[in-house]
A and B are shown apart, each in its own frame.
Chain A
Amino acid sequence: DTGVSQDPRHKITKRGQNVTFRCDPISEHNRLYWYRQTLGQGPEFLTYFQNEAQLEKSRLLSDRFSAERPKGSFSTLEIQRTEQGDSAMYLCASSLVREKLFFGSGTQLSVL
């Protein structure tokens, strides 16, 4: 059990650029989640995958956001045409059972 891995740890980008984050869940975990955490707040749910199927997207996820989980393994979260309001930490979590989530260390995004 190597834990949930997220890459990169930090990303600095200019407004208008596209960014992509990667999450590698714990192997054999079929459930994968993305959360967003802004300064001074708790994490907020963004989206949920069961295997390769994306079962829910929060309304926080605008059309500029897209998440994939090909083959039910790693997942990517892409943000197109980044805005300063996208600056946040993006957390990935995985689980085998829904009430026991394991989180990664997050990707801190700064949009200048």
Chain B
Amino acid sequence: AQTVTQSQPEMSVQEAETVTLSCTYDTSESNYYLFWYKQPPSRQMILVIRQEAYKQQNATENRFSVNFQKAAKSFSLKISDSQLGDTAMYFCAFMTHQGGSNYKLTFGKGTLLTVNP
């Protein structure tokens, strides 16, 4: 079974600075998806960024980028120019690409990010 580990329960950053959230995962598969989701106080899970394991290029979405290290099974999220609205729980998640359960997301426990003014 796949596992996702987020070792930082809480982090804080000053507005306009850069912060990196860590995620490691364990799988024996070679092809899969990795995700970062944001859950603000409104509770709705919002997709921040997605990476396909077979793509070597790191995904980028505006101020959000990832550092995907497949051999190390590491998938960190970098937030540049942090904004107050980035304050939220951030969850790393894994989805297998193959087999009968290729629709299930496996989530980490989350990192609470606080952006301070």
Interface class of chain A by DSSP: strand
Query: Considering only CB atoms, which chain B residue lies closest to A35 in the complex?
Result: B105
Count contacts on A: residues with CB < 8 A to the other chain: 24
Q: Are A43 and B104 in contact (CB under 8 A)?
A: no
B6 to chain A, nearest CB (A): 8
A98 at the interface (CB under 8 A from B): yes
- Contact between B95 and A42, CB atoms less than 8 A apart: no
Does B43 contact A42, Cβ atoms closer than 8 Å? no
8 Å CB interface, A49-91 against B: 56, 89, 91
Return A95 CB to nearest CB of chain B, in Å: 8
Residue B107 at the A interface, CB < 8 A? Answer: yes
Alpha-carbon distance between A30 and B47 when the two chains are bound, in angstroms: 19
In the complex, the answer to whether B102 meets A40 with C-beta atoms within 8 Å is no
Chain B residues near A42 (CB-CB < 8 A) = 4, 91, 93, 107-110
Q: Which of B37, B43, B108 has the most CB of A within 10 A?
A: B43
A65 to chain B, nearest CB (A): 17
Instruction: Output the nearest chain A residue to B112 by Cβ-Cβ distance.
Output: A40
In the complex, chain B residues 15-51 whose Cβ is within 8 Å of any chain A Cβ: 33, 37, 42-47, 50
Q: How far is the CB of A60 from chain B (nearest CB, A)?
A: 12
Give the residue of A45, A89, A105 whose beta carbon is less than 8 angstroms from that of B105: A45
Task: Tell me the A3-50 residues at the B interface (CB within 8 Å).
Answer: 31, 33, 35, 40-45, 48
**Chain B 74-117 near chain A by CB (<8 Å), digits 1 or 0:** 00000000000000000101010000111111111110000000
Instruction: Tell me the B residues contacting A by CB distance below 8 Å.
Output: 4, 33, 37, 42-47, 50, 91, 93, 95, 100-110
